[in-house]
Amino acid sequence: DKNEDLYHMFNLFVDLKILKKLSEINQGVLITTIPSFNFLSAKFVNRNVIKIGQEHKYFGGYEKSIQTKIRKYYKKLDALTCLTDAEINDYQKLLIKHSTDLYKIENATHMPKESSNLEEKTVIAAGRFVHEKGFDLLIEAFEKVAQQYPEWKLKIFGDGVEKDSLRQMIFDKKLYNNVFLMPKTDNIINEMANSSIYALSSRNESFGMVIIEAMSVGVPCVSYSCIGPAEIIKDGEDGVLVERNDVDKLAESLTTIIKEDDLRKTMGRNAKENVKRYSFEVVGKKWENLLNEQEFKKNKTPLKKVYSQIKVQ
């Protein structure tokens, strides 16, 4: 679908190669990760195959053309995984008359041993420089923060179509000594470990993997209360949730955590503990449960038993 986020990465040749491979799958489990792949799985893959689709976005966040195809094809999947309760609710309504099983399985992350000392005067953010990520709102909020705490810096890691406009905004507000647009990095965890607050200013956010990564190194997050962040952050315990698009409240919350060292460090400790529910061990068990249930439903054979048979052979 031309409205798919990753559409630019594919072409007709790639599509034909994918279809050929899909047509060759006659048994086992196929897990697909974006709507277009979910559609192809539902439409072209042998019915003996257990077809599991993944969703990383709430239904209302898609263009109408994708929504129409979701209604048409997702009912042909054996199972669909979602990241949040809000997504589960969306797809329960869409699939209420169909046999597709729904599972809430979040993204997982590595749990590093290191933690930030939360003493660096640095707020960090990361993501694509696009309207949805709301970095213009964050810069506007940080202008208020810098007036009270000029020694604090905001580093925004990423790239995208709004880079020039964000840079101009920083220049116009004379924030060039406080706000820095940083290039994308392959080691964002290290940058987070050298910061004291993570800020998420998205206008919409289905999950928020960056929040989990920041929490994994004990960094508290201040975030707009989008669908995903609202399920990850325990407001007042391991971070702060702010009403969406409220620049003043975002600035106020950042200022509070900057000012109150004990609060910041308490939230950081809580964040590192609470984020363990997104470890590979915990999330992996959810996947194991899903696979076993679907195998038993399809073939009346627990998948663990299938694994052991394959291993013995």
pLDDT tens digits along 15-71: 788 889 998 999 999 999 999 999 999 999 999 999 999 998 888 888 999 999 999
Q: Do 55 and 138 reside in the same domain of the chain?
A: no
> Is the per-residue pLDDT at 136 higher than 60?
yes
Q: Do 170 and 266 reside in the same domain of the chain?
A: yes
Phi and psi torsions of 189, nearest 5°? -60, -40
pLDDT at 269: 97
In a domain, 223, yes or no: yes
Residue 192 carries which side chain, given as an amino acid letter? M
In a domain, 92, yes or no: yes
Q: Which residues of 172-204 are buried (b: 16+ CB within 10 A; e: fewer)?
A: eeebeebbebeeeeeebbebbbebbbbbbbbeb
Q: Are 1 and 7 in contact (CB under 8 A)?
A: yes
Q: Do 89 and 137 reside in the same domain of the chain?
A: no
In a domain, 52, yes or no: yes
pLDDT in tens, 249-279: 999 999 999 999 999 999 999 999 999 999 9
Domain containing 217: what range?
Answer: 122-277
pLDDT at 73: 96
Q: Do 170 and 67 reside in the same domain of the chain?
A: no
How far is residue 285 CA from its own chain's centroid?
19
Q: Do 104 and 154 reside in the same domain of the chain?
A: no
Q: Do 135 and 97 reside in the same domain of the chain?
A: no
Please state the domain count of the chain.
2
pTM: 0.86
Q: Do 255 and 268 reside in the same domain of the chain?
A: yes
In a domain, 115, yes or no: no
CATH code, domain carrying 241: 3.40.50.2000
